[in-house]
Structure 1
Amino acid sequence: MTVRLLTGFPGFLGSALVERLLERSDEPVACLVQTQYRDVAARRAAALADAAGVPRDRIRLVEGDITDPDLAVDDYDRLRRETRVVYHLAAVYDLGVARPLAERVNVDGTRHVLRLALGADVDRFHHVSTCYVSGRYDGVFTHRDLAVGQSFHNYYEATKFEAERLVRAAMADGLPATVYRPAIAVGDSRTGETQKFDGPYYLLELILRQWPVAVVPVPLRPSAHRLNVVPRNFVVDALAAISAREDSVGEVYQLCNPHPPTIRELVRTLARAAGRRAVPVRGTTKLARVATERVPTVADGLGVEPAALSYLSQPTTYTDENTRRALAETNVRCPLFSSYADRLVAYAREHRDEDAGAMV
């Protein structure tokens, strides 16, 4: 029996991708799951199989841990023999992550998954990176770019950069791999559903905690900076469509928004959807970041992750020309943020106490 191995289940993107993989073929999907998430994973796997109308054994849960060289699985040799395709999504998606954990999961974990894939001589290796391997690059960052002399905001970015370098090196040596770089993923554009309230949700939380007027820190020129936000369903639909193409081997695809909102537009859109009047205070993002970093009670009171504030003045522009070419004959398009922001806000208002936290 051969399987498609997926890491990062039952995480935010991994769960939705498994649903697409069930639709694609009858081949089982083996999901590498950490022991502490086994029960959650079992419930989610059963729900996905039932919703797809397929036998529950089409999703096989394999307890393991990517930080272990042999993935901490009971039968590594069997997994290596059976694996034909790998989707590597597992990572610490946390802007405030400490360096040792980020390196152990994002870098060492990728190295260990690559080791399995190379030993299995897989047909395809799909690696989910991030647009923010760009770090704080001042300019246009394309799918062709990686090491451009950039600095990094945090250890999440730095370690995802190192992880992609490992994958790109294996690609250069002949691994049939594809790299996907999502921008900042938020909830489903149709329902608002999400598992984790981070990124732009910190800004939304700040707005929701102030009534009727919300004071919001923004850069000195809020119309000159943009936040590249994409809904989960676009990321997963694009990944599923591109990964099915044989000509995507050896390519890097930035799954970003070609028309991202400016910070000014982002604040206004979120405030309008939240029923607040926003007062942007220009030139205060650095001050707000320093204050929330040094006084944790301030960050807690505002509902803000200090590391997220740096992205309000991100100087990088992302391009997606080869992604649009690959999706040209599909109906997969990234919607404008303003077209679904009200659904994100409605879902967040109802569920924001249910944040799943960083699932690694």
Structure 2
Amino acid sequence: MHIFLTGATGLVGGALAGALLDAGHRVTALVRGEGRDVLDMDARDRIGEIDVLQGDVALPGFGLAGPPQDIDLLVHCAATVDFAAADAVHQAVNVGGTAHAIALAQAWNCPLLHVSTAYVCGRAGGLIAETAANPAADFTNGYEASKARAEALVDAARAHGLAAAIARPAIIVGRLSDGAIARIDGFHHLFRLFGSPLLGAVPAASDAAFAIVPICHVTAGLMAIVQGFAAFDGQRVHLVGAAPFAMTDMLAIVGDYPGTVPATIMPPPDYHASERDRRVAMVHRRIGPQFFDYFQRSPRFSGEALARLADIPPPVIDEPAFRRMIDHCIRAGFLDWG
């Protein structure tokens, strides 16, 4: 197959590009700017093995000088995942970029695989089914809201004849077998604070948990959709772990590593920002609006579609697996624990 891929220089896109190449597919990637790399799950740069086109998802037609030929599937991974980005940025990149991807898939007469996020559910709790996102839901931040609006565009295009599927990864962490991850970003920056005295006591529910998923499962799920697209047409597919990982368990594991000063949790009604010392208060002002809401939640995402259609069940992320992820970050120099 000839796959057109956006977001290849990101975590998910790079891992998928490597898997596609290893499976013998041809990959044409949209890349913004020069000097970029496409890192697979083993952190090998695969950009020399793909066809690269310069462009920008925020532009109509992705700003391409000329369309590629004979595209079998457009996989749209590109997005800004910065929770603090301005609404205009989320709209231009996440929503506008999806609109442009839809238009190109229609023009090229090829299906579209849109990579979204499990957190289009917003602040919903309990078991989250693989149903349509509600753009009017109560969202934690502009990122979640923009991804829900983007999904609505995909749904509308499919109603008008476009073959399309939506993949929804949860919070992506390292590979299950060894904890490896090519790009240490996103959740990892928050996690580093969990072992730092700069976080201190934070407002969190006693049952707060994070829906983390290993990058290997995300990649396997995307590959299953790509290679069996007919079965997934019209599906919304959660790429998630078997169960969320409790925040209290994370903090307990962090505390086992020398050199850490694990954060503690307190009931939200007891938390008063004015009682923090100056350095901690500064950190809380910076990250609180983006992340504290996630400390109140423990959503459980159904992974039924991928299990049913590709016989790939959600993976169990146990304590040893989580420690392997920490150990990789230590070996990589991202964490100075141990």
Report TM bin, short chain.
0.7 to 0.9
Within the alignment, does 1:323 sit opposite 2:327 as a pair? Answer: no
1:233 is matched with 216
1:217 is matched with 202
1:41 is matched with 37
Within the alignment, does 1:73 sit opposite 2:61 as a pair? Answer: no
Shift of 1:215: 3.8
1:135 is matched with 122
Aligned residues: 329
2:23 is matched with 24
Q: Judging changes above 3 Å, is the alpha-carbon distance between structure 1 residues 273 and 172 closer, same or farther for their aligned structure 2 residues? A: farther
1:308 to 255, 268, 291: 291
TM-score normalised by structure 1 residue count: 0.81
AA partner of residue 247 (structure 2): I
AA partner of residue 62 (structure 1): L
Question: 1:140 and 1:186 mapped to 2: Cα distance?
Answer: 21
2:317 is matched with 336
Q: How do 1:53-72 residues align onto structure 2 when only pairs under 5 Å count?
A: 56=48, 58-72=49-63
AA partner of residue 221 (structure 2): A
Q: What is the SS of the residue equivalent to 2:251?
A: helix
1:8 is matched with 7
Q: What is the SS of the residue equivalent to 2:238?
A: strand
Question: 1:166 and 1:286 mapped to 2: Cα distance?
Answer: 42
2:109 is matched with 121
Q: What is the SS of the residue equivalent to 2:181?
A: coil
Query: What's the CA shift string for 1:171-215, capped at 9, x where partnerless?
Result: 12221111100111122232432413322541x32233239xx84
Q: Judging changes above 3 Å, is the alpha-carbon distance between structure 1 residues 114 and 296 closer, same or farther for their aligned structure 2 residues? A: farther
Shift of 1:138: 3.5
| Unpaired stretches in structure 1, ≥5 consecutive residues | 51-55, 355-360
Q: Judging changes above 3 Å, is the alpha-carbon distance between structure 1 residues 59 and 161 closer, same or farther for their aligned structure 2 residues? A: same
Tell me the C-alpha RMSD between the 2 structures. Answer: 3.2
1:256 is matched with 240
The structure carrying a bigger helix percent of its residues is 1
Q: Judging changes above 3 Å, is the alpha-carbon distance between structure 1 residues 73 and 287 closer, same or farther for their aligned structure 2 residues? A: farther
Question: 1:335 and 1:89 mapped to 2: Cα distance?
Answer: 25
Q: Judging changes above 3 Å, is the alpha-carbon distance between structure 1 residues 301 and 259 closer, same or farther for their aligned structure 2 residues? A: closer
Question: 2:39 and 2:118 mapped to 1: Cα distance?
Answer: 31
Q: What is the SS of the residue equivalent to 2:60?
A: coil
| Unpaired stretches in structure 2, ≥5 consecutive residues | none
Q: Is the 8 A contact 1:299 1:305 kept in 2?
A: no
Q: Identity of counterpart residues, as a percentage?
A: 23
Shift of 1:84: 2.2
Question: 2:269 and 2:222 mapped to 1: Cα distance?
Answer: 33
Shift of 1:169: 1.1
2:253 to 269, 287, 290: 269
Q: Is the 8 A contact 1:18 1:29 kept in 2?
A: yes
Question: 1:161 and 1:67 mapped to 2: Cα distance?
Answer: 17
Q: Is the 8 A contact 1:205 1:302 kept in 2?
A: no
Query: What's the CA shift string for 1:20-46, capped at 9, x where partnerless?
Result: 111223x421110001xx3123788x9
AA partner of residue 63 (structure 1): Q
Q: Judging changes above 3 Å, is the alpha-carbon distance between structure 1 residues 323 and 339 closer, same or farther for their aligned structure 2 residues? A: farther
Q: Judging changes above 3 Å, is the alpha-carbon distance between structure 1 residues 31 and 142 closer, same or farther for their aligned structure 2 residues? A: same
Question: 2:244 and 2:236 mapped to 1: Cα distance?
Answer: 20
2:264 is matched with 280
Query: What's the CA shift string for 1:263-303, capped at 9, x where partnerless?
Result: 22222233335664646332149947x67xxx998445999
Q: How do 1:86-125 residues align onto structure 2 when only pairs under 5 Å count?
A: 86-122=74-110, 124-125=111-112
Q: Judging changes above 3 Å, is the alpha-carbon distance between structure 1 residues 165 and 286 closer, same or farther for their aligned structure 2 residues? A: farther
Q: Judging changes above 3 Å, is the alpha-carbon distance between structure 1 residues 341 and 241 closer, same or farther for their aligned structure 2 residues? A: same
